[in-house]
Amino acid sequence: MERSARLFLCGRCRVQVLLCSHCDRGQHYCGRECAAQARRERRREAAQRYQRSWRGRLAHAARSRRWRARQSEHRAQHCDIDIVTHQGCPVPVAAAPLAACASTAVISTVATASGGLDVPLPWRCRRCQQPLLPRVRQRFLHRRHGRDHLP
């Protein structure tokens, strides 16, 4: 059974994504990796905004004072230990092969065995792989509320 679909661009990597109406929950990202990375970026930006505020500066200064006090106390307890500043040579990184980048297209074609004509493959949902209708939405489905949808 073919379903209606929504086409959107991932909010982070700008890849086109097709989701069927069953899997569509208002996603803005193509997958969990992009969603997690976007969340990390937003949290980092929020932390930077906080650090620039007056309250954040005071909290950072207090945290730095506590850290310096702990470090001086630690040095006072272990004053007879030689402090080593050289940590050795870094371990060389093995050469890693680069992975080939596979492009993802929304629609593709396949040549038929009989005449070589290109026939479009059915569009499929990115999550459940169900076949989709050839027409797509670019907005969300709006569910009706109230008495309009009652028989």
Question: Do 3 and 132 form a contact (C-beta atoms < 8 A)?
Answer: yes
What digits encode the pLDDT tens for the residues 108-136?
444 445 555 554 557 788 888 888 877 77
Confirm whether 64 is domain-assigned. yes
Interior angle at CA 33, CA 31 and CA 37, nearest 5: 125
Confirm whether 113 is domain-assigned. no
Q: Total structural domains in the chain?
A: 1
What digits encode the pLDDT tens for the residues 56-84?
999 999 999 999 999 998 888 876 656 66
Confirm whether 102 is domain-assigned. no
What digits encode the pLDDT tens for the residues 29-41?
888 899 999 999 9
Q: Which residue has the higher pLDDT, 112 or 10?
A: 10
Confirm whether 30 is domain-assigned. yes
Give the residue numbers spanning the domain of 124: 1-77+120-143
Question: Do 3 and 136 form a contact (C-beta atoms < 8 A)?
Answer: no
Confirm whether 112 is domain-assigned. no
Confirm whether 115 is domain-assigned. no
Q: Amino acid identity of 72?
A: S
- Predicted confidence (pLDDT) at residue 98 exceeds the cutoff of 60: no
- What is the residue-averaged pLDDT of the chain? 76
When mean pLDDT is compared over 1-5, 16-20, 44-48, 124-128, the highest value belongs to: 44-48
Confirm whether 95 is domain-assigned. no
* CA distance linking residue 51 with residue 43, whole number of Å: 12
Over pLDDT 90: what percentage of the chain?
Answer: 26
Confirm whether 60 is domain-assigned. yes
